[in-house]
Structures are given as structure tokens and as C-alpha cells.
């Protein structure tokens, strides 16, 4: 399961779509960092059908894709996985976005907690780096680049905390 596969599964789960519609999603929304080129999406969809995670259904011109129970299970397993340090922020955020209307709200809350903790750890490790030997030998520019990392990590912490607040104050809105 590649990142793109998860993205496609998640989008199709939300609503059956054609390959073309999925491409448009990548093009027109800020979510999903993937190119909308057909060279990636159509082959991936085919593979997902072969693997039994999606079902193709002719509809007007073109095919719509539906998620199968097995596909749902794959997504659920992914959602339930503890958020590791390894997955980059982009991957983590995609996972978060695909949780969208998931009935189990707790998954989202858990995700945000873990994300906030990871970001806090990242902040701490960058601060620790700034106390090390290497830091002293670095040029002004290189140091500023590290400061950039610090700022974005801090922004992640703030966002996650804020998102938790918003979700907790809001009733089950879906």
C-alpha cells in the first residue's frame, strides 16, 4: 500500500468517483500532494481493483469506483495504527484528512494527540541540536534553516492543540 493508494481508497470511500474525478480532486484541492497526471492514477486504480480493494462499475461514460468491504478493512487498519515518527508530516496529514467523516471520532482525537506529541518531540530535538557542537560550526544561513524547521514544528503543535479544542467543543457535527 503506497501513499497514493491510501489517498485513492480514502477518497473513494468518502464517495464513489471516477478516475477523472479523483484527478480533479488532486488538481483543485490543496489536499494530496500528488500530481494529477493519468500515469499514476489509472494504473493505481487498476491494481486496487485487482487486489480486491476497489470495485469498478461502468456508469455513463467512464467507470466509477466503489470501495469494497476488504478495502474498508485496509483503511481501518491504517487508521488504527499508532502514528509513528517515521511517516512524514505530509503522510500524517493525508491520513488525518481521510479520517474525515469517520464514525469513530476517537480515532481523530487520538491522531491529533499523537501528532501534537510528535511535533513537540521534534521541537525538543531541534532545540537540543541548537545546543550541540555542530550548531556552533554552522553558518548563519544554515542556522536560519534549522530555525525554519523549528517554526514549522511549533506551528504543527499549535495547530494540533487548536484542532483538539475545536473538535472537543463541537458536538458530533456529521
Partner DNA sequence: CCAACCATGTAAGCTGTTACATGATTGA
Partner DNA sequence: TCAATCATGTAACAGCTTACATGGTTGG
Per-residue cell: 52? 480486491
- Residue 13, interface with DNA (CB under 7 A)? no
Footprint of a second copy on 17-36 (CB under 8 A): 28-31
Instruction: Select from a second copy, DNA, none the partner in contact with residue 146, using the beta carbon and a kind-dependent cut-off of 5 to 8 Å.
Output: a second copy
Minimum gap (Å) between residue 174 Cβ and DNA: 27
Query: By CB under 8 A, which span of 43-51, 57-65, 73-81, 166-174 interacts with a second copy?
Result: 166-174
Strands in 63-67's sheet, in edge-to-edge order, are: 17-18, 63-67, 54-58
Distances (CA, A) of 137 to 45, 47, 92, 122, 129: 49, 50, 33, 21, 12
Per-residue interface string for the shown chain with DNA, residues 17-56, x marking contact by CB under 7 A:
-xxxx-xx---------xx-xxxx-xxxxx----------
Query: Helix (H, G, I), strand (E, B), or coil: what is residue 17?
Result: strand
Instruction: Select from a second copy, DNA, none the partner in contact with residue 62, using the beta carbon and a kind-dependent cut-off of 5 to 8 Å.
Output: DNA
Taking the C-alpha atoms of residue 124 and residue 127, their distance in angstroms, rounded to an integer, is 5
> Which residue, 70 or 148, is less far from a second copy as judged by CB?
148
Instruction: Select from a second copy, DNA, none the partner in contact with residue 23, using the beta carbon and a kind-dependent cut-off of 5 to 8 Å.
Output: DNA
* Nearest C-alpha neighbor of 45 from the set 35, 37, 36, 53: 53
Q: What is the DSSP letter of 64?
A: E
Residues near DNA (CB under 7 A) are: 1-5, 18-21, 23-24, 34-35, 37-40, 42-46, 60-63
Amino acid at each position: 500500500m503506497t501513499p497514493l493508494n491510501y489517498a485513492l481508497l480514502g477518497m473513494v470511500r468518502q464517495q464513489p468517483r471516477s478516475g477523472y474525478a479523483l484527478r480533479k480532486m488532486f488538481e483543485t484541492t490543496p489536499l494530496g500532494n500528488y500530481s494529477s497526471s493519468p500515469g499514476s492514477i489509472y494504473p493505481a486504480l487498476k491494481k486496487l481493483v485487482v487486489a480486491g480493494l476497489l470495485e469498478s462499475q461502468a456508469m455513463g461514460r467512464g467507470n466509477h469506483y466503489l470501495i469494497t468491504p476488504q478495502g474498508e478493512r485496509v483503511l481501518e487498519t491504517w487508521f488504527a495504527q499508532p502514528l509513528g515518527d517515521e511517516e512524514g508530516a505530509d503522510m500524517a496529514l493525508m491520513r488525518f484528512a481521510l479520517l474525515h467523516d469517520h464514525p469513530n471520532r476517537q480515532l481523530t482525537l487520538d491522531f491529533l494527540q499523537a501528532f501534537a506529541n510528535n511535533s513537540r518531540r521534534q521541537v525538543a530535538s531541534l532545540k537540543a541540536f541548537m545546543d550541540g557542537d555542530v550548531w556552533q560550526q554552522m553558518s548563519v544561513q544554515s542556522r536560519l534553516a534549522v530555525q525554519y524547521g523549528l517554526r514549522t514544528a511549533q506551528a504543527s503543535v499549535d495547530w494540533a492543540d487548536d484542532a483538539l479544542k475545536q473538535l472537543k467543543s463541537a458536538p458530533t457535527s456529521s
